[in-house]
Structure 1
Amino acid sequence: MSSDEQQVDPYPSLTVARERESENIEPLQLGKRLKDIRMAHGLTLEEASKRTGLARSTLSKIENEQISPTFQAMQKLATGLQIDIPQLFAPPKQLVATGRRDITRQGEGKPHPTTTYEHELLATQLRNKKMMPFKSRVRARHFDDYSDWIRHDGEEFLLVLSGKITFFSEFYEPVRLSEGDSVYYDATMGHMLVSVSDEDALILWVTAS
């Protein structure tokens, strides 16, 4: 092959891929990451110094990339800022607004009655929600009104809007909840509610997957 001839890359697609990967890899900016975490906690350098046991000047030099922290210093940072060490190296997630919104007017939710509850499903226009909000009127009055425990995936938050209920759960003693009281629980644990006030209790439920 003469010197004028160009050498052909047998794997051009791999070369392009490597070049693109190298372009997308950003250098680790540990100091900036530390400052972002500190600011997210609403801490001044002085407050972070007291929490971590590191001198204020040391923290400032780390944040300004003037020095690299030792492993012992990273342990103090993680303990003081209540994070895991890997979080110091993980870039913050980019937040992208999707603009999703759904308004449900009073009484315009989707009705879903059962023998023990009268549910009103909220935000029904949104699909693939991470939370399922709904209001429920608790018609059940006795534990025996249920044939079995209610169980489903996810976690659940319950707020009593009016009336009083007894909250039964599989692993805890029954508890009385009144207007304004709330409970957050693992929904895979058996649970059920009964109204104990003169009128049917009204509750807000939010189920998260």
Structure 2
Amino acid sequence: MTTTSPTLGALLRAFRFRKDWTLKEMSTACGIPLSTLSKIEHDRLTLTYDKLQVLSRRLGMRMSELFAETDDDARQSVTARRSVGTVGTSIRVETPNYDYYYLCTELRKKRMIPVLAKIRAKSAEEFGELVKHAGEEYIYVLRGRIVVITEFYDPVVLGEGESIYIDSTMGHGYLVADGCEEAETIGVMSSADEELTSALMALHGDRSDVGPIQRLKR
């Protein structure tokens, strides 16, 4: 038997039904315009990280609930899990340097986080402070060329089909190489920390407004 992966819209719709709220009541409670909320529930829009923070605070939800991660799930044994990830069902986070598409978000307490990314920053100055977080990560270049900058190594340029594996606790960042306007990568972040998703999302800080879910160009 196949199961459908819950999207952000499905999670919010289920929350609204549990509260026995109309869409208008939900809109009043969370401060999101009714028409926008309807589009989110039908997966025609997604929310950036700062909006997810506001939403969770106003509805009295934990951020982990928006990623289908609950305390009850931690008591379940992790066996025979699977998830089919698509960009259409991903959670999109826009940052000045990247667009992230978090995949397979319905799986609870993941220790590997698959992420598609569009990279835009063109210089270390534009990128700003290097990123650090628990665990390790693997990045594979799908399109374009990137420059990988790290705390302890010289920058390295990677082209399509090339990849890198790094210690994520080391300061690091990804830039677009000279001659490219944008690059696309797929990566996997891994850690023994079962709250890795929340930790990664917390790095994004303030972001832009609601944005549509967009399929990556190939």
TM-score for both structures, normalised by structure 1? 0.52
8 Å Cα contact 2:87/2:101 also seen in 1:
no
Residue 104 (structure 1) aligns with: 85
Query: Is 2:126 the partner of 1:138?
Result: no
Match for residue 173 of structure 2 among 192, 201, 205: 192
Structure 2 distance, partners of 1:106, 1:130, is 20
Query: Is 2:105 the partner of 1:124?
Result: yes
Structure 2 distance, partners of 1:106, 1:120, is 7
Which structure is larger by alpha-carbon Rg, 1 or 2?
Answer: 1
Please state how far the C-alpha of 1:97 moved relative to its aligned partner: 7.6
- Kindly tell me the number of residue pairs found equivalent between the two proteins: 114
Structure 1 distance, partners of 2:154, 2:123, is 15
- Which consecutive residues of structure 2, in runs of 5 or more, have no partner in the other structure? 1-76, 192-218
Structure 1 distance, partners of 2:97, 2:79, is 37
Query: Is 2:58 the partner of 1:115?
Result: no
RMSD of the alignment, in Å? 1.5
1:152 alignment partner AA: H
- Post-superposition Cα deviations, 1:52-73, rounded to whole Å, max 9, x if no partner, equal xxxxxxxxxxxxxxxxxxxxxx
Question: For 2:125, what is the secondary structure of its paired residue?
Answer: helix
Question: For 1:172, what is the secondary structure of its paired residue?
Answer: coil
Query: Is 2:149 the partner of 1:168?
Result: yes
Please state how far the C-alpha of 1:98 moved relative to its aligned partner: 1.4
Please state how far the C-alpha of 1:107 moved relative to its aligned partner: 3.6
Match for residue 206 of structure 1 among 188, 193, 196: 188
After TM superposition, list the pairs within 5 Å mapping 1:1-209 onto structure 2.
Answer: 98-196=79-177, 197-209=179-191
TM-score for both structures, normalised by structure 2? 0.50
2:125 alignment partner AA: D
